[in-house]
Chain A
Amino acid sequence: MHDPAASRYYVGMLRNTADSWGAPAKFFHWVMAALILAQIALGLTAASWRLSPTKLELFFWHKSTGMLILLLVALRLLWRLANPAPALPSGMPAWERAAARASHLLLYALMIALPIAGWIVNSASNVPFRIFWLIPLPAVVAPDKSTADLAALVHGGLAALLALVLVAHIGAALRHHFVKRNTVLTRMLPSAGRAP
Chain B
Amino acid sequence: MKEIVASAGLCGLLLAGAPHPAQGADWKMDPAGSRLEFIATFEKTPAPGVFKEFDARLRFDPEKPAGGSLDVTVRVTSADMNIADVNKEIRGKDWFDYAAFPQAEFRSTDLRRAQGNRYVARGTLSLKGVKQPVEVPFTWTASADGATMEGELTVKRGAFGIGAGEWAATDVIGADVQVKFKVKLRKAG
Complex Cα gap A130–B42 (Å): 9
Let me know if A196 is at the binding interface, CB within 8 A: no
Q: A52-B166, A53-B167 are in contact. Are A127 and B172 (CB under 8 A)?
A: no
Query: Is the CB–CB distance between A53 and B166 below 8 Å?
Result: yes
Given contacts A125-B83, A143-B82, A145-B84, contact A56 B89 (CB under 8 A): no
Which 3 interchain pairs have the tightest Cβ spacing? A53-B172, A128-B45, A130-B45
B3 contacts A by Cβ under 8 Å: no
Which of chain A's residues has its CB closest to B88's CB? A51
CB-contact partner of A53 in B82, B89, B171, under 8 A: B171
Q: Which residues of A contact B (CB under 8 A)?
A: 51-53, 56-57, 60, 125-130, 133, 136, 143, 145
- Taking Cβ atoms with an 8 Å cutoff, the residues of B that contact A are 42-48, 82-85, 89, 166-167, 169, 171-173
| Residue pair A53, B43 in contact (C-beta under 8 Å) | no
Across the interface, which residues of B come within 8 angstroms of A127, CB to CB? Answer: 42, 83
Checking B43, B47, B85 against A125 with a beta-carbon cut-off of 8 angstroms, the contacting residue is B85
Q: Smallest distance from the beta carbon of A54 to chain B beta carbons, Å?
A: 8
Cα separation A51 to B46 with both chains bound (whole Å): 20
Task: How many A-B residue pairs have C-beta atoms within 8 angstroms? Tell me.
Answer: 42
Could you give 28 example pairs across A and B, Cβ below 8 Å?
A: A51-B89, A52-B166, A53-B166, A53-B167, A53-B169, A53-B171, A53-B172, A53-B173, A56-B43, A56-B172, A56-B173, A57-B43, A57-B172, A60-B172, A125-B83, A126-B82, A126-B83, A127-B42, A127-B83, A128-B42, A128-B48, A129-B43, A130-B43, A130-B44, A130-B45, A133-B43, A133-B44, A143-B82
Which residues of B are found within 8 Å of A133, using beta-carbon distances? 43-45
